[in-house]
Structure 1
């Protein structure tokens, strides 16, 4: 090669370096987004929040390397509506997915669609809960409906497929397979990694049920709540562990034993364990049959108190066993990001579609605006942006995720989105955050668990709830003095001014978010039109 040619080549290289990288290289500087969500994962079952029930070292890593939110809440504590809020950035009354029954309006624009349009590669693996063809994804493998814990079926763009094994492990396998083999390294990516666990009926992997069925857990302070001052609201719900948790379906007592006992709500577990192959079933029976036989021997001597405690312990053993699987697998994904040197330019979020009751107020399930189902875990890491190991107590909601991800990606959100980007909080710019209160509205009644329709408002100090439709009841809780929310002070004269102030804030928020009695009555009419209520 001649000196003249070499000189020209050097000049060309210098000019290129001055003009900056190629468009694809520049594009790849936009952060990747990994959104991890489990189903019904109570914040009480993450050791970064509370280490009395379980250790979750891998989920905790996200908080240690990033930020833990202590006042993250949902707008509607039930699975499919929560996911619709997350995808659309709009409250249930505007996106139309108010409950698990009504269909999702696919004309809604979702943040994955906008990110895909903006050049992100997008993928979803795990549990969506509604819709078999989610928009805005280059690839998806999702469980149909609730999905199964063992040997689950998945819906894909190429048709349905069944995969042998345990669902939490499989969802991670599918995710890592995409990351390793089909991720376009020239593009930033959005990965939605969505676990079925720990949703009812809480079936752990073999490696975990063998260990967790040997454990005993501390009882919650309000396990024997008598619902005083909340008889017609909290007291009428049908999700009490003693009265409503099903012996066979929930607690794994075989049908052959359960139906011989003089007990209500034994139900049927056959449709769940029938999915296990012979080897899986033999391992399952070897652990759960002796538990059932011991229970059958002890049952005639049990009173309500001892039966409640027994059912609570069995509930916790299986529920927490499924979370152990989630934590292990979150660790697998975090390790992969580290090993492939992707972590530095990746925003990682861990959350749940809502909170869950782990015996508080004697309950399982969610739905209420009371703390354990209203509050959701939220842990976010974003290297070089979030200061590691920080805690944030501002009032944030799942409504805010869509606008947060769009801002991170440099995409302008549609005007109809109702959340607020969390980016100022992630950057430590609290002075730019001015939200004082959050709004909540639950619709699915009459329905499973009989939690009455209600809406309300929460600040850091107080919570005001209005139950409506077949009752007209108001409740006010002093969150500082009464963190367990067992004392409704709505009628207390000392709180009269608080009630007035909170009602005014409630009306302001309803107007801001475009909710109204007319919309509420419209959704009641949908129930009537479908024959769900008279």
Structure 2
């Protein structure tokens, strides 16, 4: 072969190989990312190492934050379990998706972003806690869910054949096993979206056997607001969610628990019950009896027990998050899989003397949210912008390259992620509306807004009242400024902004309340 011809053939071959490589690189570059959303229940941001807790053992949640981004102002729109899940699925406020309080029947046939993901080529699954009163139906390709609240030990699961299956073990471990089994069986080559719905850290806070007593050597600090007197805050004073009066020694703190009549303990195997009762009867209950506590000493003992069980329950949650991260690493999925960890809302860990959630106050309004997004979000990113849980759906749709329907009320925060939190504005005020009353916990219905500095709240349905806080000078929300002459102009401006948000989100109930002056 002559040299000119050889040169031409070699050049053509090189160009062809380069073209193929470029094509492969382009294909890889535009490959849709997988998404895993680990969604816990009642896990407070202030119980996580990445959010500043020096005692809680959350290395795997912390790892997601360190390798990606942590949101400091991720807010919910209705601080209660089921409605938060409904907002995730619909991208809409409770009054629009029809699910305002727990124990109702969520309309699973309405527009859900997971169906749109399916149409966009994603395999979809929800495994674990669902808690929406209805079955997922065709909203996912695969689902296997806990009925209702589910159980910590030897739980039942409902599968797509509507069969209830009893599985022995601890719930967080079982959910992880079911999730990795689905990942093993999925169609390779197609992107997937998986929700891992955790039961932890919901009441009554039953830790895995290996985590019993994990924090017994710690003297946990009492929150600054633990002995709040609720001056000037009628709704805060009239609730039923205090560690002092509402938290139960037997049911919540397992002091001489009724192991025969209480259904959560009847699920134990004999081996599990022995380990559990040895700890709570022979250590905790005996310690309580020996102290003969009353008054301030009793309520502080209750607080210590509550928080130690709560943190120990979170240990099992975090350990299983680590198992999922390890699975991604071991199966070559980590580089193209977005991993999200979030809770359905915030939670009180003794602040204001409380447990539970519901209020628009900071501890229940703010929820933990960390995300690892390889190739997009820089490691160690801090995001301070206001983001809402109705923003989850449009963000995930935009990430997946699926058009966001116009009736979704949330706003994608993908631009914030791409900018690593820099120079991107989200919203100057965030709107909130809570409904469930009078029980449980007797928290009055209320709505309001939060800006970067201020919070304005309207309680109704009982002791109608307004509250106003300057979060810069009063971050614990102890001093209600509403009605003070110095704040009248600010109050008027915030009321105007509140009215605009009510109109924007078409909240007719709130509009009706505001039409009746108090």
Does TM-score exceed 0.5, indicating one fold? yes
1:295: Cα distance to partner?
1.2
1:471-486 superposed matches below 5 A: 471-486=463-478
Counterparts of 2:117 and 2:432 in 1: how far apart (Å)? 27
Secondary structure of 2:467 counterpart:
strand
Whether 1:304 aligns to 2:305 is no
1:413: Cα distance to partner?
1.1
Whether 1:335 aligns to 2:326 is yes
Whether 1:172 aligns to 2:160 is no
1:331-370 superposed matches below 5 A: 331-370=322-361
Residue of structure 1 in register with 2:86 after alignment = 84
1:487: Cα distance to partner?
0.8
1:13: Cα distance to partner?
7.9
CA RMSD of superposed structures (Å): 2.3
Residue of structure 1 in register with 2:311 after alignment = 320
Q: Structure 1 pair 179/495, CA: closer, same or farther in 2 (3 Å)? A: same
Contact residue 404 and residue 422 of structure 1 kept, 8 A: yes
Counterparts of 2:340 and 2:451 in 1: how far apart (Å)? 24
Output one character per residue of 1:42-76: Cα deviation in whole Å (capped at 9) or x when no partner.
00011100223413111011111111111111000
Contact residue 242 and residue 308 of structure 1 kept, 8 A: yes
Counterparts of 1:512 and 1:73 in 2: how far apart (Å)? 18
Whether 1:94 aligns to 2:76 is no
Whether 1:497 aligns to 2:489 is yes
1:17: Cα distance to partner?
3.1
Output one character per residue of 1:395-439: Cα deviation in whole Å (capped at 9) or x when no partner.
101110000000000000111101111111101174443410110
Counterparts of 2:488 and 2:245 in 1: how far apart (Å)? 36
Secondary structure of 1:400 counterpart:
helix
Give the unaligned 5+ runs of structure 1. Answer: 1-6, 258-267, 522-534
Match of 1:398 among 389, 403, 406: 389
Contact residue 124 and residue 193 of structure 2 kept, 8 A: yes
Counterparts of 1:92 and 1:466 in 2: how far apart (Å)? 17
1:490: Cα distance to partner?
0.8
Contact residue 108 and residue 136 of structure 2 kept, 8 A: no
Secondary structure of 1:82 counterpart:
helix
1:256: Cα distance to partner?
6.0
Higher mean alpha-carbon deviation, 101-110 vs 185-194, is at 101-110
1:253: Cα distance to partner?
1.4
Q: Structure 1 pair 462/134, CA: closer, same or farther in 2 (3 Å)? A: farther
Whether 1:217 aligns to 2:220 is yes
Match of 1:33 among 32, 35, 51: 35
1:14: Cα distance to partner?
6.1
1:453-492 superposed matches below 5 A: 453-492=445-484
Contact residue 499 and residue 511 of structure 2 kept, 8 A: no
Contact residue 213 and residue 312 of structure 2 kept, 8 A: no
1:18: Cα distance to partner?
8.3
1:191: Cα distance to partner?
0.9
Q: Structure 1 pair 117/12, CA: closer, same or farther in 2 (3 Å)? A: farther
Q: Structure 1 pair 305/418, CA: closer, same or farther in 2 (3 Å)? A: same
Residue of structure 2 in register with 1:4 after alignment = none
Output one character per residue of 1:19-63: Cα deviation in whole Å (capped at 9) or x when no partner.
94699x779810111111100000001110022341311101111
1:367: Cα distance to partner?
0.3
Match of 1:273 among 265, 280, 283: 265
Whether 1:189 aligns to 2:192 is yes
Give the unaligned 5+ runs of structure 2. Answer: 1-8, 514-518
How does the TM-score come out when normalised to structure 1?
A: 0.89
Residue of structure 2 in register with 1:294 after alignment = 287
Contact residue 79 and residue 346 of structure 2 kept, 8 A: yes
Residue of structure 1 in register with 2:4 after alignment = none
1:341: Cα distance to partner?
2.2
How does the TM-score come out when normalised to structure 2?
A: 0.92
